[in-house]
Amino acid sequence: MTPSEFMELVTPFKDKVFRLAKRLLISTEEAEDATQEVMLKLWSAKNKIGSYRSVEAFAMTMTRNFCLDRLKSKQSGNLKLVHSNYSDPSASLQKEVEAKDSLGWVRQIMDELPEQQRMVLQLRDVEDYEFEEIEALLDMKPTAVRVTLSRARKAVREKLIEKHRYGIG
C-alpha cells in the first residue's frame, strides 16, 4: 500500500478519530497526539488492513483503547475521564442549573416511555451496550431494537423540546 492509498483510506475518518480522542481525553493536545499515534499504528498494520471488514471501526476501537490506556497510565495524572459528575470550575451557575434541570427532565421523560422503549434506550444510550447484546438480553430482532431505539429517542427529543419551549410564543 502506497502512502497516497493509505491517506485516501484514512482521511475520511481521521476527524472522527480526533473527536473521539478529544471527548475521552478532554485536552486538544492529548487528542492530537492520540490521533497521530492511531494513524501510525494503522500505517504499521497497512499490510493487514485489507483483512478488516471496516477500517474505520477498527481505527475507532484503537482510538478508544489507546485513550483509555492513556488515562489509566501513570503519566495521566493531569487527565480526567468525562463523567456525569465532571465539573468545570469556569462553568456558570446558571449553566449548571440548566444542565441539571435538563437531565432531570430527560429522566422523567424516560420514565414515561413504554417499558420496551425505556429498556432499549437505557441499555444503548446510558449503559452503552452494543445492539447484539441488547438483542440477546431482550430477545428482540435486530430491526426491532433499532426501530424501538429510534422511536424512544424521538419521543424524548420531542418532549424535551416541548418542555424547553414552554411559554415561548
Q: Where are the domains of the chain?
A: 3-76, 93-165
In a 3-state reduction of DSSP, which class is residue 161? helix
Q: Which fold does the domain 93-165 belong to in CATH?
A: Arc Repressor Mutant, subunit A (1.10.10)
User: Could you tell me which residues come within 8 angstroms of residue 121 by beta carbon, excluding any fewer than 6 positions away?
Assistant: 110, 113, 149, 152, 153, 156
C-alpha cell at position 155: 419521543
Among candidates 56, 23, 24, which has minimal Cα distance to 42? 56
* Stronger pLDDT, 147 or 21, i.e. the higher one: 147
pLDDT reading at 51 higher than 50:
yes
Letter for the amino acid at 58?
F
The percent of residues above 90 in pLDDT, for the chain, comes to: 15
pLDDT at 37: 93
3-76 — its CATH code?
Answer: 1.10.1740.10
How much is the mean pLDDT over the chain?
81
Chain segment 71-118, per-residue pLDDT in tens: 877 454 555 444 444 555 555 777 777 777 777 888 888 888 888 888
Centre a 10 Å sphere on the Cβ of residue 87 and count the other Cβ atoms it contains: 8
